[in-house]
Chains A and B, each alone.
Chain A
Amino acid sequence: MVDRKKPAHGFSDWAWQRATAITMVIYSVLLAVRFLVDAPSAGFEGWHAWFAPVSFRAITLLFLWALIYHAWLGMKEILMDYVHNVGIRAKLQSVFGLVLVGDAVWAAYILWSLV
């Protein structure tokens, strides 16, 4: 529900969509560069070791969270455009929200369960 007393509501979604997008572009470039300069060695050991540095895991998680929040904003916009029944839209929005929260927790678990 839009709170009309907060005039910045629409703007903050707009700004976050862009901030998360820029985060993802920067990470994608860094990832491509690292792949070219310091490719992981073959097999599980090499791949696992590639993710060992905490700094790399941290920016990877930042990327995944940015992606997930970006997806939330985008899916909300799609629903607003195509699903005009407010009740159905609210239900779909909560389903998408739950899925994305699950994705976010899962992403953190994947990256921080590494030993």
Chain B
Amino acid sequence: MSSIYPKAPKRQRPKNLNLLTIRLPIPALVSIMHRVSGAFLFMLLPALLWLFHQSLANAEAYQLAQLVLNHQLAKLICLAVTWAYLHHACAGIRHLALDAHYGLRLNYARATSRAVLIISGLLTLRMGIWLW
């Protein structure tokens, strides 16, 4: 499909698509983590519903859910889910503030991004202490 827009003049510009060397500004980091954590939660939702179902169905199923949750790997996944949920929620609240035109200035945008990382990190840490 040919574009109706005139072609941009060809210029030699530096291009870096190496994900390992790109240094994202902190609001961009929070933004991509918001997306990744959301997709992660979507993928784990069936597993979480299964656990929830087991925990409520009957006493034996409850025991099974407890057995699964006592496994170290399951605890680690639980912690990851907690982090994803908290990060997604905190970053989401920040988005709502941005929608309402709060915190649009660059220094505020950076400060609130940092706050999202710190608050969700601390709450996840609290959950980790409770899990182990």
Contact = CB atoms under 8 A, between A and B. Distances in A.
Given A99-B46, A107-B49, A71 B96 contact: no
Interface in B32-55: 35, 38-39, 41-42, 45-46, 49, 52-53, 55
Contacts, number: 55
Contact of A71 (B35, B41, B57): B41
Contacts of A21: 92, 96
A21 B41 CA distance: 14
- Using C-beta atoms within 8 Å of the partner chain, give the interface range for chain A: 20 to 34
B38 A74 contact: yes
A11 interface: no
A100 B42 CA distance: 9
Nearest to A47: B55
Contacts of B39: 74-75, 78
A44 B53 CA distance: 12
Interface of A: 18, 21-22, 24-25, 28, 43-45, 47-48, 51, 67-68, 71, 74-75, 78, 96, 99, 102-103, 106-107, 110-111, 113-114
